[in-house]
Structure formats: C-alpha cells, structure tokens
Structure 1
C-alpha cells in the first residue's frame, strides 16, 4: 500500500469536490504552497492513487437510457485477456471486472434503447470468440455512485 498523509487526503478531498479546481485554490484552502500541491498531485498520480481527473457523465442525459450489468461465462478462463481486449473495443461497455462465482467477467453496458442493447449483447458481445454465455440484469437507475471516503 502506498503511503498518503493528511495533506494528501486533504488535496484529494478538494479534488473530489471539484476536479477542475486550480492548484492555487487548493493551496490557499490548505494553507500550503502551490509547489507543494503540484508535487503532491504528481506523486499521487505516479503512485497510481490518483488515476486521472476526468468528467463524470450522466449517460441518461446524453441519450443512453438503458443500462445493464452482464455476467460473462468464458469457454476457457485463460482466454480472458484476449476477450477483455475485444470488450474494450465496444464503446458501450463502460466497466469490466474479474469476479468469483458463476461468471469470469462482469461488465456494465450502456445503450440508447432496448434495440441498441440487443445489438450490443447479441451482435457485439456474443460474437466474441470464447464467450460461452451472457446473463444480463437491466438497471433501472443509479441510486448513488461515489469514490471511497478518505
């Protein structure tokens, strides 16, 4: 585990509130120098603790009204890296996890409507060689989504 101190935690909390916040504003809020904030953010990024600052899109507001969580069973689990590479090529697959249990992989899919979801599942995902079967659960809306609390 990488070491983070109280200043790192406070910087991350500021960025969690507003990822576009200027380093100078963070420095002022914390009573430290701009250089210290810049160095800390660079170190947190190098350590892989901070993996980027990017917009969080509300898919439904941009026309992606359908979401599904899909368990994927592979014919051979050792094919998972190749299959993950193919899943990365499908823009509607927004998350992919290794899991235990009945499936090898679990993905989040977003689609514009039920026909689009059918196309993603049957014409894109099911056509990846090595996928034995999929099992989807339609999501009806996100109650909340957040980062881990620091």
Structure 2
C-alpha cells in the first residue's frame, strides 16, 4: 500500500498551457463511494486500475495496478458509472515538484484544477503564479463527485 498526499487548487489563468503538453485521460468509476474509490483510467496507450481509501486531511491510502488497455476500455464502455470523466492532463515541473493541471471536458467543461503531490501534509512548497484558491477539502472538486454533480450544473 502507498499513501497519497495531495493538495488541489483552482487555476486562475492560462499561462500554464505553454508549459507542457496535454494528454487525454478517460476515467470511470466502478465504485465512487468515499470509503472506497475504484477507478479505471486510460491515459494515452496505458491503463490503470486504482483503489483509494477515505481521505483524511490531504492523505489517503492508494493502490495502483497496470491493466490491459482492452480491459480498461471494456470497463469504461460497460461497467463504469456514468458519465465518464474526460480531461486533458498537463504535467508541469515547478521548483522541484510536478503540478498536474487537469482541464476537464464534457459535463465538467470549464473546470481547471491543479494538484501537487507532497511527501507530508505540512511540506512547504512554492505555488506558481497561476495557482488560485485551494480546494483540497472541498468535496465538489473530487473527480468521483463530478460524476453526480458535474461542474456545468453548479
């Protein structure tokens, strides 16, 4: 088991777009319960099955396993909750950390968030100028919650 410590922020402008190449992600949920998230994701030509435990603060347990692309596509087409989350992810290095900027599509179009993974919850880090309000503890921004409450309906 590994532990994920992640902070999430809104993005204030589009300066980040010139800093990296976006990759299309398609992800669906076999379980979107806060106690146990089970996600299938296709990113480029790779696919992963991810299991996450309940979030406590900015930390939660996480397990990830590569799976065949064909299996992931079958899960997304036939088993996952709807709608499927689609977004472009940009990985942007900044002062020793990698920021992942997600630009959502479909029913979550218009939403752009940035996440950074840390070694500890109290780790100090520098924020790029395009980082805005922190939404780490706002459940509306959890990908699994965007299934039931898409951004375009807020």
Q: Which has the higher contact order (CA 8 A, sep 6+)?
A: 2
Q: Which has the larger radius of gyration?
A: 1
Q: Which has the higher strand share?
A: 2
Q: TM-score, normalised by structure 2?
A: 0.31
In proportion to residue count, which structure has more helix?
Answer: 1
Scaled by the length of structure 1, what TM-score is found?
A: 0.31
